A and B are shown apart, each in its own frame.
Chain A
Amino acid sequence: MSDMLSSVDPMHLDAFREIGNIGAGNAVTALSEILGNRIEMDIPVARIVPFNSIPDILYGAETPVTGVLVGMSGDMDGYMLVIMRIDDAMKLATRASGTELPAVITPESLNENERGAVTEIANILVGSFFTAICSQTGLTVRLSVPELAVDMLGAILNVAIVEYGMLGESVLLLETRFSDNDIDVNGNFFLIPDYQSYKKLIQSLGI
């Protein structure tokens, strides 16, 4: 149990990337409608990342980010967490709500509407991802109401690290980039199943 993630082989990562890819395909349509523009999404990258290299790979541990947490229950229990830099989140939120992007962006820049928009966009991405997981595995999952936090990357990511920390010292990260003519945003997705659910997921994927 202690090295579950270090025992994840590249075939698992390929499977997760494929799920991410199908999920991204689903998300493009929904996201394009919300943002009123044709959105392109890159093929997601899946990788196993040691906790302590996350700040080097993403952003500094104290960098302010938005994190949207969605709980899952049913055949799998756990969470999915979507993390974006504050300025990326603001780009999406102002676009969705048709407001002006401020020149200087701080964690306080996000008003109620924009917080709602970030939460809803992340929720759509998570929903698209789970539609892909369920169609690939035959598992049924219910998703909870999404919840937003705006705080330091390390603090928000703590939720994922706690769950994975019971297994080893790495987390599974899916990254994608979405863009249209004038916005270009990185989204970082952490799938956080509990231990039993991770095993079930791997088995259901037939790997």
Chain B
Amino acid sequence: MTQLTVGIADYKIGKSPDVLRALGLGSCVAIALYDRGAKIGGLAHILLPTSTGYDGHNRKKFADSAIVDLVNELVVQGARRENLVAKLTGGAHMFESRATDTIRVGEHNVRSCQDALASLKIPVIANDTGGHWGRAVELNTDSGMLKVITVGTGEKTI
């Protein structure tokens, strides 16, 4: 088994029994995509909602472009597009009293992920987003289960 850590503005693909991890998500969102038949999964760790207006930037930094690229790469590596399902975590609002647009970026990130997945017709089958706490996640590419770990409230699997 290989354990791969996905940094900010990156995505990685693994096949059973690899584990893909993203650590210390605040307003960042981790998008887990999984094909149960092929037992292949991908985990993207995005920072910002939309790539519009950011020509020349790393496409893996944005929800919209990262999701499109990750889906294409999963298909190249053996996933069936119509089998892919998604799970979303992160998108927190770490400092509660802040209300500016930038600091509300977590919500925008989640919405942009949902929009991008909807337009690719990929169902979001589980969701653990929002709140004001950080998360670390682990995608098990054997089962497709996503473990979500927090500092204050323990861990759960979705």
Q: Which residues of A contact B (CB under 8 A)?
A: 2, 51-52, 55, 60-62, 64, 67, 69, 71, 107-108, 145, 147, 149-159, 161-163, 165-166, 169, 194
Q: A151-B151, A194-B102 are in contact. List 11 more A-B contacts (CB 8 A).
A: A152-B26, A154-B24, A154-B26, A154-B136, A155-B92, A155-B135, A159-B94, A162-B27, A163-B102, A165-B61, A169-B58
Say whether A159 contacts B23, CB under 8 Å.
no
Distance in angstroms between the alpha carbons of A84 and B88 in the assembled complex: 29
Give B22 Cβ to nearest chain A Cβ, in Å.
9
Instruction: Among B8, B23, B151, point to the contact of A51 (Cβ < 8 A).
Output: B8
Q: Bound complex: CA of A60 vs CA of B7, how far in Å? A: 12
Q: A162-B102, A169-B58 are in contact. Are A154 and B48 (CB under 8 A)?
A: no
Count of A-B residue pairs with CB < 8 Å: 110
In the complex, how many angstroms separate the beta carbon of B110 from the nearest chain A beta carbon? Answer: 14
Given contacts A165-B47, A165-B61, contact A154 B151 (CB under 8 A): no
Residues of B within 8 A of A147 (CB): 95-98
Q: Nearest chain B CB to A165's CB is how many angstroms away?
A: 5
Which B residues are CB-close (under 8 A) to A67?
A: 94
Chain B residue with Cβ nearest A164 = B47
Give chain B nearest CB distance to A29 CB in angstroms. Answer: 28
Q: Is B41 an interface residue (CB 8 A)?
A: no
Name the contact of A2 in the complex, choosing from B8, B23, B57, B149 (C-beta under 8 A): B57
